[in-house]
Structure 1
Amino acid sequence: MLSTLLLLTFFLPCCLSIPIVSSDVLDDLNFFKDYFQRFFFIKESQDYTVEDQLRFLQHFFKLEETGLLDEPTRAFIRQPRCGIRDTADYSLFPGRPIITNNPITYSLINYPEGMKKRTVDEVLQKATQVWSSVTPLEFQRVYSLESDIEFAFLAGEHGDGYPFDGEGNILAHAFAPNPDYQGAVHFDSDERWSYTNRGINLFLVAVHELGHALGLEHSQDPDSIMFPNYQYQDPKFFQLSNDDIRGIQKLYH
């Protein structure tokens, strides 16, 4: 409770003698609590104070560890990002699951509004080539319901227990390889997808989510495509970071 009051006091004008908490501050605090619960909460963290949670997140993302919901922290958690939980450096899913088929087949269920189908097809193909360029993997598109990885553009609650939130925070998610289930990469269809810096660049998000589908979790390295927050860069000059390459080659060599 004390840490929460300190956080709220941080945002109050110094001239006030009676604490008045604005709705914006409460919204930010509630957003942070939901963010931490969604992406970091584990059994061991259930007794963390809000200040502890803030310091944990700030340390994880290499922000200044103030323990306050300051402007850099607020701005960071509001950035568009992947819906998968966060871990550390390059990391692998528990048990190091991989896709054993090679070539890996993939299928596309539908297309987003605002992009030509041909462009989407080319974007996904280029995304697979990013990972095949540093591994022995090959990828092959198929036009049947049975494939190793299925791409789809979906909105809101779509049946997998990880609902999308409309245009904004959560862009996409994917699931670790599982020998008993088809792999899935889901994009939020409410986003404004593109192949430029307008809206959300589909190529960059597809490369990231494919990393998950192949067995990589998130990285703390901001230069890594597996960093959880979306960061635009020109696809023409895109290269995997050393962290990405080490991670994927740990699985496929």
Structure 2
Amino acid sequence: MATLAVVCFLMMYWASMMAMPIPRDTLSEGHGFEDPGQHSKDVEAATSGVVSTFVPLDDSEVAKYFQDYGFLPQSLHVETDPESVEVNLTDAILKFQDFFELPPTGVADARVQELIDLPRCGLPDVFSFSVGFFRWYDLNLTYRIVELDDSMPLGRQVIGDVIRDAMQMWMSVTSLILCEVNDPDVDVDIHIRHFQGEHGDGISFDGPGGTLGHAFLPTFGEVHLDAAENWTVDTGDGIDYFQVVVHEIGHALGLMHSGVEGAIMYPFYRFRSDVELHQDDIQGIQLMYGTPDDLQRDVREHRCPYSGPTRSPSGQRQGFEKTKVLLSRIESLTGYFLME
């Protein structure tokens, strides 16, 4: 399950003690942690005028979707407990509609279905347990493209340029320094990898469309993109690589999904001819990393002057292999953290 794997990694983030928590009340609206008390009031108000909230239970894909993205408990048995599913599914749809600012009908109407059908990020939208808010402690970070896939339509040079531009977009509004290091013998903070299908972290890619990528919160430093997508640059003929990479780097820096349509951290993909950070993105990232004015002028204007010799990715997987080992060691503990 997608959510289960993310829970595993979030446990490791907390245990590492390398991340700095941010007070919950300073976060901008629209980011994915629910207030159970407020939600119960919203549900009561929303359902008071709803004639029917029945969602056909034979559409198990709807229930699985809400489980994968945090709106239904993972402990709910879709196949064997249809009555509980029906009750919980109505509540899940209301949560979904509330998060994405849709009319609160409590049914999987056309607007709900439209979002469900869109390609999207694989990270859940909502966590019903407290995971804290995480950031990098060191503002001088490095990254490397560790793995490519020969089937990808974009070449290594284009991919490198696009990722550099995506890092620059986040640097332009923060005091972060995000520099590429190509030397495979130098350890880096963020690894960018391209996979197809199952790739060892419990969050499989599903081919063209569907899940486009996912990333893990600080300080884990993993960004994964689905190599099976028809990646393009600055065109709506396929999936715009730049738009998706900016989003996933946002996760790697500590941002969760936003319910604000138009924000980079909105989880659903629609092609944009002009990719820009929304004020919601800027507010969230600056709460963690300040503004460019926090840097000395000479540093601010000359970030990342040197990224090392250009080399083709060696396909090394040492860091990712360590990820899978740690995941296997704590899988038995995750039952205590499943959404109830």
TM range (shorter): 0.7 to 0.9
- 1:249 maps to 286
1:76-108: CA deviations, max 9, x gaps?
A: 1010010111139xxxx9333222334311000
For the 8 Å contact 2:71–2:92, the answer to whether it is kept is no
Q: For 2:140 and 2:54, how far apart are their aligned partners in 1?
A: 55
Instruction: Report the AA paired with residue 204 of structure 2.
Output: P
From 234, 243, 251, the counterpart of 1:204: 243
**Which sits farther off after the overlay, 237-246 or 40-49?**
40-49
What letter is aligned with 2:126?
T
2:191 pairs with one of 141, 144, 150: 150
Q: Identity over the aligned pairs, expressed in percent?
A: 37
Give aligned pairs, total.
224
1:60 to 88, 99, 105: 99
> Map of 1:88-107 to 2, 5 A cutoff?
94-107=131-144
> What are the Cα deviations for residues 96-137 of structure 1, in whole angstroms up to 9, with x where unaligned?
322233431100023351112211111000000010000111
Secondary structure at the counterpart of residue 7 of structure 1: coil
**CA deviation string 1:133-157 (max 9, x = no partner):** 0011111111226211011110111
Candidates 167, 187, 190, aligned match of 2:225? 187
Query: CA RMSD of the aligned region, Å?
Result: 2.5
3-state secondary structure, aligned to 2:212: strand
2:74 matches 1:37: no
Consecutive unaligned residues in structure 2, runs of 5 or more = 1-50, 77-83, 291-340
Is 2:110 aligned against 1:71?
yes
Q: Equivalent residue of 2:193, what SS?
A: strand
**Counterparts of 1:159 and 1:246 in 2: how far apart (Å)?**
34
Which fold has the larger relative contact order, with Cα–Cα distance below 8 Å and residues 6 or more apart in sequence?
2
- Is the CA contact 2:122–2:213 (under 8 Å) kept in the aligned structure 1? yes
How many Å separate the matches in 2 of 1:166 and 1:44?
24
User: Secondary structure of the equivalent of 1:203?
Assistant: helix
SS in 1 for 2:147: coil
